[in-house]
Amino acid sequence: KMAVLYLISLTLVLIDAAKPPNVVVVITDDQDSILNSLDAMPKTRQLLQQAGVTATNYFTSTPVCCPSRSQVLSGRYSHNQIQIKGGITSCLRQLKTSFPAHLQAAGYRTGMFGKFLNGNGMTRFCPNLSNGDPVEQPKGWDTFYGMCPDTCYINCTYVLNQQEIKHDLNYSGYSPSQIGNRSVLFLEHSFSKYPDQPVLMYTAVHAPHLPCTPPPWYLNAYPNATAPRVPNYNVHVDDHHWLVSQQPLLTLKQQEEIDQVYRNRWRTLLSVDDVVAGIVQTLETYQQLDNTYIFFTSDHGFHMGSFALGVAKRQPYDTDLRIPLLVRGPNITAGSSLSKVLFNVDLGPTIMDIAQVAPDTDMDGHSFYRDLLNSNNSDAIAQRTAKAAVPLIPLLVEYQGAELSKDAVGQLQRCRNDTYRGLRIVEEGVSDGLNWAYFEFAQHDYNFTNPYMYEVYNVREDPWQLTNLASQLSDPLRTALRQEMQARASCTSSTCHDALPPTLVNLLRQE
C-alpha cells in the first residue's frame, strides 16, 4: 500500500514567544498563474489562500527553470550573476550571495528538499553528476536533499548532505511525496531536537513540470479538465517575433494532447496539495503554525496553446511571466489580496526582512514584508493615491535563446533568435492604471545594439497580448522606452528598483 504522505508523531514542543518566526517556502515547477492551476489544489487554497494573502501581480524575470531559481535564491537579476556558460539563461556557477546563507548565519536551522538547480548547476553537488570531482554542499543549508538530476518523478536519485541516495523503479518513491515526507521529517526533527532554533525550509517539488507523471492514486482525477480556450489560444499572429509567427495552427490531435498534459499537470499538483497539507499539519502539531510564514509559489509560468504554441515556457507573455504567490503567516489578513507589483528577486530580501536580517546590498530585490502585513487595505490606499504619486517600478525581463527544438506536442518551443529583454510596467491598485509590456528581440549573442524586432502591448486594453503596437508608437515614446531599457538592463542593486522617469510615465499616459 502506497501512502501519499506520512506523518510521525513526536513530543510536542511549545512555542518560545521570543523565537524568531519560521519560514517555509514551497516552490513548484512550471506552474501557471492565469490558466487556473490553483483550481487543482483545494487544500492549498483552503490552508494558504483563504488563510493568507494572494499576490495578484507577481512576476518572474526569466521564464525558464534554472535562472529563475537562481534569481529567487540570490535576489539578483541574471545579468548580475556569473553563469556557467556565460549566458543569461544558463545556471549559476555559484551563489555569491543567497538568502538561505544569511538566515543560517543568523541562527536559523536550514533545509532544502527537492529541485535546487538544473543539471549543469548540480554537477558540483551530486556524486552521480560530478565526473569524479569532489562533491560540495551548497552554501547555506544544514540539510540538503537535492534531486540529481532535477527532472524526475520515479526512479529518482538524490543527494543527502553529499551522499547519493537512489530509489527503486516504482511509485513508492514518487518524487513530490518523497520530497514532502523528507520536509515533514526535517520539521519534526528540528522542532523536537532544536526547539529554540527557528527554521527555514525550502521545499521544491518537480510538479507539474513535464512529463507530469501522475501517481496511481490520482491517475483518474480531473477526467474532464481541459486547457482553457483563452482569447489567444491557437491564434496565428504575424506581428510577433519569429518563433511565434512561424507556428502552424494546432491540429485537433495536438489540442487533445495539450488537454491530456493539462489533466496530468493537475493530477501531479494534487500530490503537491498533499505536501502543503502535510507541512501545515506538522506545524500545527508542534504549535508552530502561528509563528511561521509559508510562501507558496513557482519558478515561472507556462503556456498551453497560446498563439498556437504548444506546452512550454520561455516566452515574454503573461502566461509565462506571471506566477502564483500565496503567503500565510503572523499578522497577515486571511483571504486578502495584494496588488503591489512584486518580482521573484524580491522574495529573498522579504524573507530576510521577516527574519530581521540586515539587507544584502548585493541583492537587486527589495522586501515586500510590510506590504504583506498591510494587504487588507493596500488596494484601497492605492486607489486613493494620485496616479502621479504612485512610483512605477518596472520588472526587468531577460532571456537568451537556445538551439531550435520542439515541445511535447511537436510545436516550436525555443530557437536562437528567441532572445529578448524587456520591461513589464504595471500600475498597482488603480483599475485604469498603466499596464504595458515592452520587448526587444535579438540574435543569440544577446546583443541589442540593433534589435531585429520590437513588441509592445497595452495589456490593460489587450490582456492576451494579441496586437503588437510597436509600429504605432509615437517617436518620443519609442525613444524613451529604448533609453529606459538600455539603462535598466545594466542596473545593479538599488538602481534596479528605481522608478520610471516622469517623462516616460507621462508619455505612456498620453499614448
Instruction: List active site positions.
Output: 65
Distance between alpha carbon 344 and the CA centroid of its chain, in Å? 6
Count the Cβ atoms, other than its own, within 10 Å of residue 438: 26
Encoded amino acid at 132, one letter: G
Q: In what order do the strands lie in the sheet with 53-55?
A: 163-166, 157-160, 143-147, 109-114, 199-204, 22-28, 292-298, 325-328, 53-55, 336-338
Dmax (CA) for the chain in angstroms is: 69
Contact at 8 Å (CB) between 365 and 345? yes
Positive/negative CA dihedral, 146, 149, 151, 157:
negative
Phi, psi at 319, each rounded to 5°? -55, -35
What the block records as the C-alpha cell of 30 is 512550471
Can you tell me the distance from the alpha carbon of 409 to that of 305, in angstroms, rounded to the nearest whole number?
10
Phi, psi at 303, each rounded to 5°? -110, 150
127, with CB counted inside 10 A (0-12, 13-18, 19+), is middle
C-alpha distance across the termini of the chain, in Å: 63
Is 236 in a helix, a strand, or coil? coil
Tally the residues of the chain: 511
Phi, psi at 317, each rounded to 5°? -95, 165
Per-residue CA distances from 47 to 39, 134, 213, 268, 454 (Å): 14, 42, 25, 18, 42
Is 437 in a helix, a strand, or coil? strand
DSSP H/E element including 347: helix 347-354
Is 490 in a helix, a strand, or coil? coil
Is 172 in a helix, a strand, or coil? helix
Count the Cβ atoms, other than its own, within 10 Å of residue 222: 18
Beta strand spans in 31-185 (E): 53-55, 58-59, 109-114, 143-147, 157-160, 163-166
Can you tell me the distance from the alpha carbon of 429 to that of 500, in angstroms, rounded to the nearest whole number?
17
Distance between alpha carbon 254 and the CA centroid of its chain, in Å? 27
Alpha helix ranges (H) inside 116-223? 119-122, 175-193
DSSP H/E element including 294: strand 292-298
